[in-house]
Chain A
C-alpha cells in the first residue's frame, strides 16, 4: 500500500518540520526571542501544517479519483509520490517563510479554523451521502419496476427468479401496526412515570428510579429482540393466542409492539420529564393556591402547558418505533400480510430491508434494489416526523425561556 507509506512519510516529514521550524525560529530571533512575532512553537506548527496539509489533500484527491474510476490501481504509487513531493515542497516553503516578521500564529490559527470547519461539514456530507445513495439506487429500481405498483401494490412476494410482486402497502401496514401498539404501551407508561417523578416522587425515589429507567434506555435493541424472541413471543403464544384461538405463531405484531413499547418507555419519559420540568413553577403555584389538588394541577395546568412538547416527544418516539429494526426482525416475523389480528406474524419495512440486503445480493435485480426504495421511504417518513417534532419542541422551549 504505497499510499499508506506516503501518509506515514508525510507525518514523519511534518514532525521533522516542527523541529526544524522551531529551531529556525529560535535562530532567526537571535539572542532576544521576544523579537519574533509568534512564539517559536507556532513557527514549528506552521511548518508542520504546510508540509502535511498539501500531502493530505493530494492523497484525498487521489483516493476520490480512484474510487470514481478516473485513476487505476497502478496510478496509486504515482499519487503517493506526488503527495510526498507536495509534502516536501510545503516543508520547504514553510521553512523559507520563517523570520522575525512572519505571523506564524495567525497562519496556524487560520489553518486550524479551516480544519474545524471541514469537520463540521461532515454532518452535511453524511446527509448528502444518505440522500444520494438512496435516491440514486431508488431511481435505478424504478427503471426496473413500476413505481405505482410499488407504492400501491398490496402484495409482497419477492422471487429471485424474477416476476415478483413488490408492493409496499403490507409492509407499511405492519410497520404502523407495530408502532401503534408500541406507542400505546410507551406513551401512557412513560408519561405517567415522568409525571410521577417530577411532581410526586421524593428525592430518594427519584434518585433510584431515574437511573433505573435510564438503564432501560442503555440496553441495546438486540437484547430487546432476543427478549421478544425467547420470552414474550412464546408467552403470548402459549397463554394468550392459543387459548383464544387467535393464532399459533411465536412471532407476532403484539410481541414486537409490547417489547418495543418497553424500549420506548425511557425515551418518552425522559423527554416528557424535561418538558414537564420546563413548565414554570409559578403556574403550579397558582393552581395549587386556588385549591386544586396536585393531580388537578397536573391535568389541568401542567399537561396542557406542556402539551406541544409532549406531542413532539410522542412524534420522536413514533419515528424511533418506525425505524426500529432488531426488535421487529426477531419479534414480528417475516410474512407480509395485512390482518387486524395482532397475534399474527406480520412484517415491517425494516425487516424487509434486512432480508433483501443480507446474503448474496445482485445489485441489478429489482428484488435487491427494492431495499433502497424501502430505505428512502423510511428515511422520508422518519425525517418528516423528526422535523415536525424538533420544530414543535424548539418552539415550545422558546415559549418559556
Chain B
C-alpha cells in the first residue's frame, strides 16, 4: 500500500501553479502573520523600554529639585537684650533661650532687609514677609549662636533656608496661580521673593544638607534630609554582611559539597527555594513576632532590620553561591584529593577560592536587593519619625534609625507636596547606591570570571 498516493491529496482543489516570483494568497497571509508576530515582539520590548525610561525620567526630574535649595542671605542683628537677657554670655544661660526668641530676631531681620531694598508690593502682609524664611531658620541661627556665643550683639550675615513654598517657587513647583489658592503663601509673597532674587539676596544652590540632615517635621520640608536614613541603611547592610554572608556561604558549601543525598537535604533545598519566594512582608511579621515581641529587641533599631533582612537575603545568597561552587569543575577537586588533601582541604583551599568571584557577585546583588527592601521594615517600626542620628557602632545598632526606602515611604505619607520632591530625591540617592553595587558586581564578574 505504500505506493498508493496519499488519499487526501486528491481532495485538495487544484491550485494554479503559481509563479515563483509571485506569492500566492496563503503564503502572503503566512508572511503577514509572521510580520505581525515579530511586531508584537518589538512592541513588547518597546513598551518595557518606554516604561523604564518614563519611570527613571519622572523620578530623576522629580527628585533633582531636592538637591538644590533656596537660601535667603540676610544680615541678622543678634540683639543681646533678647538672646542673652542676663548679659553674662554664659553658654548655659544662652541655651535657655528658645527658638521662639530667635524667630522674632529673624523676623525683624527679614523685615529690615525688605525695607532696605525699598520693595513695595501692594497687599503684602507682615505674615507674608515673616514666612519668607523657613521655620527651621531660627534653629539654624540658634545652633550657630550656641556654638559661638561671642556673636551675640553683632550683626552677622546668615544664609537661612527659605520656606518650602518659596523654595518650590524657584523650582517651578509653586506658581502664582497655585499660590492664590494656597493658604500658606500668596502671590504677593512670591512677588517679594522674586524681587529679592532679582537683587541677589535669594540664591538657589547645591544642597549638601539634603545628604546630611535628619528628617524634619511636616511643616518644614525644606530642612528634611536623608542623613539618618543613609546611616541606618548602612548599619543594616553591615549586619546583613556580617551575618548573611558567612552563614550563606557555609550553608552553600555544606549543601553543595558535603551533604549526602537524603530526605533531610532534600527538605532543606526545597525550603530554601521556597523561602526565596516568600513575600517580604511575611519576613516583617516574623521580625515583629520573633525579634521585637519575643526577644524584646527595641523597635526601629537597625539590628532588628538587619536581622530581618539577613533572613530574607540568606536564600538569595545561597542560590548564586551554590551555582558558583557548582561551576568549579570536578577535576580541581579530584586533583586536590589525588595529591592527598582531605575533602575539607580540597574545598577550602581550592574550590572556594576559585568560586570567590561568583560568590562575591551573588553577595553584592543580594545586598543590593536587601538595601531596596521596604515592606518588612515598616512592620518593625522603622517608619517612625526620627530626628537624631544613631550613636556610633556597636551601640548605634540598638538606637532608633530610619532607612532609605522607608524614608521615601514616610515622605509620601506627608501632606505637603514638597515632600514628594524629597522622596524622589531620596530615591535618586538609593538608586545611585544600587547602581554602584551593580556596577561593582558586573565588574567583578567581568574581571575574575573564568570559563572552564
Contact = CB atoms under 8 A, between A and B. Distances in A.
B438 A223 contact: no
A325 B52 contact: no
A353 interface: yes
Interface in B379-438: 379, 381, 383, 405, 408-409, 412, 420, 423-424, 427, 430-431, 434, 438
B254 to A, nearest CB: 4
A283 interface: no
B59 A223 contact: yes
A267 B296 CA distance: 37
A396 interface: no
B9 interface: no
A192 B33 CA distance: 15
Nearest to A199: B41
Contact of B251 (A119, A218, A222, A266): A119
B273 A122 contact: no
B282 A323 contact: yes
Nearest to B365: A218
A384 to B, nearest CB: 11
Given A122-B314, A294-B34, A375-B285, A133 B290 contact: yes
B254 A116 contact: yes
A230 B290 contact: no
A371 B251 contact: no
B115 interface: no
Contacts of A127: 271, 274-275
Interface in B48-74: 48-49, 51-52, 54-55, 58-59, 62
Interface string B320-355: 000000000000000000000011100000000000
Interface stretch (A25-33, A107-115, A144-152): A107-115
Contact of B273 (A189, A378, A390): A390
B372 A129 contact: no
Contacts of A274: none
A156 interface: no
Contacts of A71: none
B258 A116 contact: yes
Interface string A241-276: 000000000000000000000100110010000000
A47 interface: no
A226 B254 contact: no
Interface string A280-314: 00000000000001111011000000000000000
B267 interface: yes
Interface string A376-400: 0011001100110010000000000
Interface stretch (A9-17, A79-87, A90-98, A208-216): A208-216
Contacts of A229: 412, 420
A121 interface: yes
Nearest to B259: A120
A282 B33 CA distance: 23
Nearest to A350: B281
A155 interface: no
Nearest to A67: B295
Nearest to B53: A212
B151 interface: no
Contacts, number: 256
Contacts of B43: 192
B20 interface: no
B271 A189 contact: no
Interface string A322-355: 1111100110000000000000000000100110
A286 to B, nearest CB: 18
B278 interface: yes
Given A231-B58, A323-B281, A375-B281, A350 B375 contact: yes
Contact of A330 (B40, B284, B412): B412
Contacts of B342: 105, 109
A390 to B, nearest CB: 6
Contacts of B274: 127, 383, 386-387, 390
A320 B279 CA distance: 7
Nearest to B394: A4
A227 interface: yes
B285 A371 contact: yes
Contacts of B372: 219-223
B281 A222 contact: no
A123 B318 contact: yes
B247 A220 contact: no
Contacts of A319: 277, 279
Nearest to A122: B247
A295 B34 contact: yes
B214 interface: no
A357 interface: yes
Contact of B379 (A192, A219, A265, A354): A354
Contacts of B271: 123-124, 127
A357 B31 contact: no
A141 interface: no
B321 to A, nearest CB: 12
Contacts of A379: 278-279, 282
Interface in B277-301: 277-286, 288-290, 293-296
Contacts of B424: 226, 230
A54 interface: no
Nearest to A125: B311
A67 B294 contact: yes
B286 A189 contact: no
A323 B431 contact: no
A209 B45 CA distance: 8
Given A295-B34, A295-B37, A193 B48 contact: yes
Contact of A225 (B293, B296, B409): B409
A195 interface: yes
B289 A323 contact: no
A123 B62 CA distance: 41
Contacts of A121: 268
Interface in B1-59: 30-31, 33-34, 36-38, 40-45, 47-49, 51-52, 54-55, 58-59
B286 A358 contact: no
In the A-B complex, the 3 residue pairs with the closest CB atoms: A323-B279, A220-B372, A196-B41
Interface of A: 67, 105, 109, 112-113, 115-117, 119-124, 126-127, 129-130, 133-134, 136-137, 188-193, 195-197, 200, 209, 212-213, 215-216, 218-227, 229-231, 262, 265-266, 269, 293-296, 298-299, 316, 319-320, 322-326, 329-330, 350, 353-354, 357-358, 363, 371-372, 375, 378-379, 382-383, 386-387, 390
17 contacts: A67-B296, A105-B342, A113-B344, A120-B251, A127-B274, A130-B282, A189-B47, A219-B431, A222-B409, A226-B424, A229-B420, A231-B54, A293-B34, A295-B36, A326-B405, A350-B279, A379-B279
Interface of B: 30-31, 33-34, 36-38, 40-45, 47-49, 51-52, 54-55, 58-59, 62, 246-248, 250-251, 253-255, 258-259, 267-268, 270-275, 277-286, 288-290, 293-296, 311, 314-315, 318, 342-344, 368, 371-375, 378-379, 381, 383, 405, 408-409, 412, 420, 423-424, 427, 430-431, 434, 438
Given A120-B268, A229-B412, 11 more contacts: A116-B251, A123-B314, A124-B268, A129-B311, A133-B289, A193-B48, A222-B405, A230-B62, A326-B409, A382-B282, A390-B270
